[in-house]
Amino acid sequence: MAGQIDARELRRRAREYVEHERDERFRAEVERLLESDDADELTDRFYEHLEFGTGGLRGVIGGGFNRMNPLVVARATEGLARYVSSHGDRSADGTLRAVVAYDCRRYSDAFALQTALVFAANGIRAYLFPTLRPTPVLSFAVRRLGASVGVVVTASHNPPEYNGYKVYWSDGAQVVAPHDSAIISEVRAVSGAPALIGREEALEQGMLVYLDDRMDDEFAAMVKRQSVRPRLVRDTGEDLKIVYTPLHGTGAVMVERVLGELGLRVVTVAEQREPDGEFPTVESPNPEEASALERALALAMEERADIVMATDPDADRIGVAVPAGGGFELLTGNQLGALLADYVLGGRRECGTLPEKPVFVKTIVTTELQRKVAEHHGARVYDTLTGFKHIATVMRRLEEHPQEGTYVLGGEESYGYLIGTEVRDKDAITAAMITAELALYQRSRGRTVLERLHELYDQFGYYEEIQISRYFRGLSGSRTIAELMKRLRAESPRHIAGVPVHLVKDYQAHTTADLAANEVRHDIDLPSSNVLQFILEDETVVSARPSGTEPKIKFYASVSSPAGTPLETARQEVRDELHRIREWVDEQLAVIGAS
């Protein structure tokens, strides 16, 4: 912590950074701080190293060891390359290969090239996309090229001052145990100036290869193969008008192409179409937030569109709005996931293309409505921890043990979905195509998407969810969050929102505590994770989970009503309970002073 680092040590670290950083822009930043003796800024940039976590790096762009910059990226890649050299899967010709992609953020292209050149210097042939690409294209390319590893430079929907670096293994999924912790150890061991080869030299030696349009062609063809009712799209696609926004990110590269080639009419928000890492027209390029879709919704009203879609900067997540009462209603990630499960599983069953043992995968904080829908269509449902790498782990296990079933689709409440098995991370491009097809199908049945959602509520019960996130600023933030989780474990609530707590699931201890029976069972067969889940007697679920990428804690709550309850009555009852849960969460946070 900063309180344990004196000014002399901070300046030593800053001089070390200046010595090894090859990029003049970032080196000059730190030189100016040393000259001005800016203690606060030096502390923030050097009190610790930017943490290389299980998913990679994410941080504010700038000079310093606690920032995203070429030196930090190069050191991370050096450690990753060392691990790949000794443990990576080799391609059919015996070589080690890496695929590198990037999004629209500040310095993403420079960080991606730096990554590729460090791989090349370590004897790993780097395949680099020449321009920005969506994250699912990177995952697809890793698998298609038989690569050992993949990296995409992105910070997803974080503010403009952030960038990041996500690591993928040879199966196209983000790294999991045992690779994740071993890679972290290798990265932490790197010091000094990492090995680097010049771009021209790498090209001459065949260690740097720029990918051409063929990978895009193969990806687009793959997306179309996921269609449930291709004839419906072919015959009626031109009847659907879609307003789309990539929110200044990578989505237009593929969404416009795939939907356009299928004959669907796509009207893109012009002022948000071009990639721009400053995201000038939105406060946050996050399709979860209604404010990010304001321009798309206004355009949809003008165009009398049938559906609105938005993808985040690296096009792995999608937000959707549908016509409702003269305007448009934004679907939540849970609602869209339930609709996709209903359409894909039900449609494949109707068309005779559903596998014998279909599998649907969701996360533990995703609505149980999706479970009921999937099971209704004959699918087995797997629960995983939050994060798509865990969904990919289930996919890998099913491939190793096909008698258990066949993965069809999966998703998480934060607007991420994966249909099919040729990508191993969230894929907003395929989700956009299937969502358009879903809208066409509901129209062919004489109903809207929203009407179909209401039918699901009537059949399975009304479900609504909230997420409450609180940041803990400053150097003590992580300690404060840890103290809150410790208190919730030690003093488990007996009631939440006036409803008795029935079960307490601790995913770190792998236990379920039955409060009524006063017994604890070791019955959670998932990787250890710092998550607590409270199951109430009315089947309400409240979860607490510290974020893995930001200094905040998240609370999730899902409340439901019995099937057949009139919609307005169910909605009011559920929202009343959600309001009481929000008050309970505020009480817990007030104790520790959340911001």
The pLDDT value given to residue 595 = 45
Reported pTM: 0.94
| DSSP conformation class of 527 | -
Please, what is the Cα angle at 426 between 50 and 442, to 5 degrees? Answer: 150
CATH code of residue 529: 3.30.310
Residue 115's H or E segment, with its range, is: helix 108-121
Of 152, 78, 139, 149, the residue nearest 111 (C-alpha): 152
Q: 375 and 496: one domain?
A: no
In this structure, the chain runs to a length of: 595
| Tokens found for residue 84 | 């790949």
Of 157, 356, 134, the residue nearest 257 (C-alpha): 134
| DSSP conformation class of 488 | H
State the Cα–Cα distance between residues 416 and 413, nearest whole angstrom.
Answer: 7
Before 194, cis peptide (omega within 30)? no
State the Cα–Cα distance between residues 310 and 252, nearest whole angstrom.
Answer: 10
Q: 444 and 343: one domain?
A: yes
Q: 549 and 527: one domain?
A: yes
State the Cα–Cα distance between residues 232 and 7, nearest whole angstrom.
Answer: 68
State the Cα–Cα distance between residues 174 and 271, nearest whole angstrom.
Answer: 33
* Whether 199 contacts 237, CB under 8 Å: no
Which of 413, 444, 460 corresponds to the end of one domain? 460
Q: How far apart are the first and last CA of the chain?
A: 21
- Paired with 307 in beta bridges are 242
Collapsing DSSP states into helix, strand and coil, what is residue 407? strand
Q: 271 and 420: one domain?
A: yes
The pLDDT value given to residue 474 = 59
Q: 432 and 536: one domain?
A: no
CB neighbourhood size of 270 (10 A): 10
State the Cα–Cα distance between residues 152 and 198, nearest whole angstrom.
Answer: 21
Q: 414 and 267: one domain?
A: yes
Q: 133 and 272: one domain?
A: no
Instruction: Please state the domain count of the chain.
Output: 3
Q: Helices 24-36 & 7-20, crossing angle to 10 degrees?
A: 160
Domain that holds residue 302: 219-229+237-460
What residues in the chain have per-residue pLDDT under 70? 1-4, 473-475, 548-550, 593-595
* Whether 233 contacts 227, CB under 8 Å: yes
The pLDDT value given to residue 2 = 40
Please, what is the Cα angle at 299 between 321 and 262, to 5 degrees? Answer: 70
The pLDDT value given to residue 170 = 96
State the Cα–Cα distance between residues 551 and 46, nearest whole angstrom.
Answer: 18
* Whether 318 contacts 417, CB under 8 Å: yes
* Whether 399 contacts 406, CB under 8 Å: no
The pLDDT value given to residue 216 = 97
Distances (CA, A) of 320 to 157, 203, 347: 16, 42, 20
Averaged pLDDT score across all residues of the chain? 94
At residue 58, φ and ψ (nearest 5 deg) are: -160, 130
State the Cα–Cα distance between residues 383 and 496, nearest whole angstrom.
Answer: 24
Which of 155, 178, 212 corresponds to the end of one domain? 212
State the Cα–Cα distance between residues 168 and 151, nearest whole angstrom.
Answer: 6
State the Cα–Cα distance between residues 278 and 70, nearest whole angstrom.
Answer: 20
Q: Which residues contact 478 (CB under 8 A, 6 or more apart)?
A: 472, 551
Which of 405, 433, 460 corresponds to the end of one domain? 460
Q: 439 and 492: one domain?
A: no
Collapsing DSSP states into helix, strand and coil, what is residue 190? coil
The pLDDT value given to residue 531 = 96
Q: 223 and 118: one domain?
A: no
E strand residue ranges, 25-94:
56-60
State the Cα–Cα distance between residues 49 and 30, nearest whole angstrom.
Answer: 15
At residue 466, φ and ψ (nearest 5 deg) are: -135, 155
The pLDDT value given to residue 552 = 85
Q: 304 and 251: one domain?
A: yes
Q: 200 and 268: one domain?
A: no
* Whether 449 contacts 339, CB under 8 Å: yes
Residue 533's H or E segment, with its range, is: strand 532-536
Q: 312 and 167: one domain?
A: no
Active site (catalytic) residues: 156
CATH code of residue 380: 3.40.120.10
